[in-house]
A and B are shown apart, each in its own frame.
Chain A
Amino acid sequence: MSNEFCGSWFPVIRAEEVAYGHVARVQLNGQELAIWRDDEGHINAWENRCPHRGVRFSLGHTLGNELRCQYHGWRFASRTGQCTYIPAQPGHKPAQVVKAVTYACLERYRYVWVSLNRTPAIPEPTLPLGNDGLIAVRSLQINAPMTHVITYLRTLAKTNTWGNDRPISVIECQVIEIPLDTGASAADRLLLLPQPASKACSVIHGIADSTVEDGARLPFLRRQNELFKRFKSDIEQ
């Protein structure tokens, strides 16, 4: 298994939370990003800043395959970020240099992943997971740098103060696996994926690889949410 993606690719938001017509707003390593989905379902991750006057793209409108800035109505194309239309100069094709700053992003394991690294050779994120039967739990913001979050989770793994017979393990440099007691299967587990948001702030994401019946889904999500809140309270203490 390759872990070369570690340190480059990070999950930033659950894929289903990037709804049509909505521009989500996240932060990765201090860079604020606008995340939006075009009419073909393609996800974009752009610097959250119109190159014209710096207004946040997350205030703007998605129009099919373009994003329109709220301030002066400049429009930018999905995928390339190329400016396509300037209302004050309706007869002119915008210059090629007028572009939104775009970042590599993809949908995988129920999440939108972004890499700020502009070198194309970084391998895509790979986890020991299929694409089926995964449940993305509620992400939670933590007021601590990601190194603190990882140290906390690794300490949990080392001391195994989990109250569970099965051990917590570190399966990648930035991915921690914890066993789940759903009673359904011994293979049930939750992968924790911390995201460095800024110097002082992280977001913790979780992918459950587990068989959960429809009726048990909401209680399951609530339990994981309580777990994340416990992490947050421990780490911020």
Chain B
Amino acid sequence: MKLYDYGLSANCYAVRLMLGFLGISYERIPIELYPALEHLKPDFLKINPFGELPVLHDDGEAFLDTHAILLYLALRDSRTTSWYPTEHAATIGQVSMWLAFASRLDSSLGAARLHDAFFCDADVDKCRLDAHRYLGILDEHLWFEEQGSNDWLCGGSNPTVADIACFPHVVLSEEGGVSLLYYPAIRRWTDRFKRIPGFTLMAGVFDAAPLKSAETYREPSGATDDR
């Protein structure tokens, strides 16, 4: 398996995270986005005519889009995977919805970060404004999921490809000048995400504290009905 990869790309990070969670080993082919702009050179355009990263080659097939790669990897070795649960139509609908949401994050948070870090063209004020609107929606969703004792985007007890697709844009948001200060439920979700076994880091992302104390914590007496 070959991954055409740039270390500082949020979308490439999503695929590396997925490969890490699944424990799949792969060959990494670095393509320098900045400053070399290798993704726009004729050699790479033969690999992906869209001039975008990441690209995955496996078993004679080529996959050109982050979400396509995530779905392919999720179902590659097992048709019953918690990363892309296919038993219920409603779950597939939810996962698709939050994958589409990840695309919105890509074109707002992601674009603001590419503007600030790699001088890409963007209407950065509009990107940040959109990003805050989307983060407000995400924080509200995650807050109510927490109230229902759900840790992840699509209900259930496990993270899905939708969590993976959203995570890199959210965790790198400060690099695009978008603060997570007023999104406390999102910050808690990023901590939970970082504790998934197999989690891998990239530049600018830190791991979460070990959770050994969590099981022993009890609300003070009289405060238990607010869970």
Which A residues form the contact surface with B (CB < 8 A)?
Answer: 13, 15-17, 19-27, 32, 37, 39, 41, 58-64, 70, 107, 110, 131-136, 138-139, 141, 197, 201, 203, 217-218, 221-222, 225
**Nearest CB of chain A from residue B212's CB, rounded to whole Å:** 8
Q: Closest approach, in angstroms, between the C-beta of B170 and any C-beta of chain A? A: 14
A136-B188 in contact given A21-B211, A25-B181 (Cβ < 8 Å): no
Query: Which range holds the interface residue count of chain B?
Result: 20 to 34
Main secondary structure of the interface of A (DSSP, over half): mixed
- CB-defined contacts of B220 to chain A, threshold 8 Å: 41, 107
Which chain A residue shows the least CB distance to B213?
Answer: A20
Residues in chain B near residue A41, CB distance under 8 A: 217-218, 220
* B30 lies within 8 A of chain A by Cβ: no
Chain B residues contacting A217 (CB-CB under 8 Å) are 147
Q: Specify which of B147, B182, B216, B217 lies most central, judged by the most chain A CB atoms within 10 Å of its CB.
A: B182
Question: Quick check: B219 and A17 within 8 Å, CB to CB?
Answer: no
Contacts of A24 in B (CB 8 A): 184, 187
With A131-B222, A218-B144 in contact, do A22 and B181 touch (Cβ < 8 Å)? no
The interface bits of chain B over 185-227 (1 if a CB of A lies within 8 angstroms of the residue's CB, else 0) are: 1011001000000000000001011110110111110110111
Interface class of chain B by DSSP: loop
Q: How far does the alpha carbon of A37 sit from the alpha carbon of B185 in the complex, in Å?
A: 17
Residue numbers in A under 8 Å from B210 (CB-CB): 21, 61
In the complex with contacts A21-B214, A218-B144, A61-B209 CB distance below 8 A:
yes
For the A-B complex with A21-B214, A201-B182 known, give 9 more contacts whose Cβ atoms are closer than 8 Å.
Answer: A17-B184, A19-B191, A22-B188, A22-B191, A32-B181, A63-B209, A107-B220, A222-B144, A225-B140
